[in-house]
Each structure stands twice: as structure tokens, then as C-alpha cells.
Amino acid sequence: MIVITGASGFIGRHLFHELTALNTLVKGFSRTNKQFLLVKNYSDIIVDEPSILIHLAQTSAINSHIDIDFEIGEFRKLLEKKWEKIIYLSSASLYGVNKLCSHKVTSPLIIENDYQKVKAASEEMVNGLKGIIFRVTNVYGVNMNNKTIIKDIHSQLGRKSELILKNGYSVRDFIYIDDVVDCIRKSLSYSGHGVFNLGSGLSYSAYELASIILSITGNNQKIISADPGVNINYLSVDIKETVNFLRWEPRVDLFNGIKKIFLNNEK
């Protein structure tokens, strides 16, 4: 049995439906969505048969206050249950955005906010239990969260002559949701443990992303950056170990991934 926490989230929904389509025994838990098994807290989940935990449920509010003790305490209680395997989705944001390099999992971590504190503490607990940790980059795809740069660009298409980016010089690794789901699925049969970067291995500036979207949608707006780009804002990851150990590789490039989103919007 596979147990997914945060099954109603963007990654959780796609993963749940993919595993279900493959006739995998899976239970999806949510604190808010009645389409899945409802729990007040994920530590309330009862494990009464051999199960694999895929934990996706922690807050994604990077710049807001988080009850760190509660988040870590609840996760610790969840981990105390008898799991056959633990797979935890962390964040590549732990590397920070102030170095012009492609981060390996051995790169030093930057802990500056509550979100990063929770992720780092959670990684330590999972590591101690010999689980699998994925440091995920920017995930995008059909039915993605509205609070993303892709959605922001989409909302401005065709409205004015200029398309305004908060920081056109910021650089990120974007990975399509199907590739994320495929990598997690591959990790289910992996007998080892450790930390893996989960991204496309390629990084693009916000300006390049906007240019791709304008090209696909046939818009010719002028791209303007509100931020002059004086400070480094760069995040790239090395995925060689992920590819080698899990026998996985990303298949959807940014152009075709964006195309899938906008073709779906036209339906």
C-alpha cells in the first residue's frame, strides 16, 4: 500500500491519479478535500498494513510565518509509524539563490526563513530513517497553482503592450509535472536511500520563460523587468545522480511543457 499525504495538492493529485491508473494500491489523504480521505492532522493516519509513505503535505508558503514546532512535531509523529519506505519531497530552495552554480546535493544549505527551517529539519529526520529525499525545483503543468510566474505571465497576455516581470533576470529550473511523477514512481522500486535533486537540469531566466510563452501564444508584447537585476537571483541543480541511481530522466522540455498547458487552456 502507498500512502500519499497532500493528495489534493498539485503534485499529489497527479501522482495519485497516475498510480491509480497503474492499478497500484494507494490511499490519498487530505486535510481539506473530500475527494480524498480526510484527516485533521496527518499524524492521525492509521497504518495497519505494510505501507510506503510519500509525504507531500507540508506548507508551500515560503515567505509567510509558519508554526515550525507544529509542522515538525506532526511530521515526527507521522514518521514514528511503521513504514516500509519513506519518500519526502523537500525543496531546492534550500540551496539559496545567490550563487551562479549548478548545485549538487552536497552543496551547503541556506536556512533563512521558516519554510527552509521546516524543510531542513524534516530532511534530517527522514535521513535518519534512511528514506528518500527529493529537493524539487519549480514544478509546472496543467492545473498548476495560480501563484506562479507562469500564471502571472498568462494573466497579462494580450492585455497591454508591455508584459511586466517582477525580475526578468531571475533564473530557475522548471520541471514538468509528468516528469516529477515519473521520478517519484521510479523511486518506489529503488532499494537505496539518500538525497536527490529533482529538476530538469536546465535553467531559464524569467525573460526567457516569458519569450517562450509569447512565442507559443503568438503575442508580441514587450517584456519589461521591474527589478533591474543587480543582485544575483539564480537557482540551478545538478541531476546526474538522480538520473544514474534512479534510472530516470526528464522527458518534457520547457517549450513543450508550456505548449501542453496552453493547449489544455484552449479546450
Q: Which fold has domain 2-265?
A: Rossmann fold (3.40.50)
Going from N- to C-terminal start, the domains of the chain cover 2-265
User: What tens digit of pLDDT does each residue of 189-243 get?
Assistant: 999 999 999 999 999 999 999 999 999 999 999 999 998 888 889 999 999 999 9
pLDDT of residue 62: 63
67 CB neighbour count, 10 Å cutoff: 12
Q: Which of 106, 131, 121 is nearest to 55 (CA)?
A: 131
C-alpha angle 124/115/206, rounded to 5°? 115
pLDDT at 115 > cutoff 70: yes
- Residue ranges of E strands in 1-74: 2-5, 26-30, 37-38, 52-55
Q: Which of 119, 59, 70 is nearest to 95 (CA)?
A: 119
Residue predicted with more confidence, 17 or 67? 17
Secondary structure, 3-state, 176-194? EHHHHHHHHHHHCCCCCCE
pTM above threshold 0.85: yes
User: What is the share, in percent, of the chain residues with pLDDT greater than 70?
Assistant: 97
pLDDT of residue 147: 87
pLDDT of residue 228: 86
Average pLDDT of the segment spanning 143-153: 92
Which residue type sits at 183? Answer: C
Supply 229's cell numbers. 537585476
The residue with cell 503575442 is 219
User: What tens digit of pLDDT does each residue of 72-111 get?
Assistant: 999 999 999 999 999 999 999 999 999 999 999 999 999 9
Which DSSP state fits 226?
Answer: S
Query: d(Cα 44, Cα 78) in Å, to the nearest integer?
Result: 8
pLDDT at 158 > cutoff 90: no
Burial of 218 per CB tally in 10 Å (0-12, 13-18, 19+):
exposed
User: What tens digit of pLDDT does each residue of 7-22 get?
Assistant: 999 999 999 999 999 9
> What are residue 22's phi and psi, to 5 degrees?
-90, 10
pLDDT at 244 > cutoff 90: yes
pLDDT at 64 > cutoff 70: no
pLDDT of residue 145: 87
Whether the Cβ atoms of residue 260 and residue 252 lie closer than 8 Å to each other: yes
Supply 134's cell numbers. 527529493
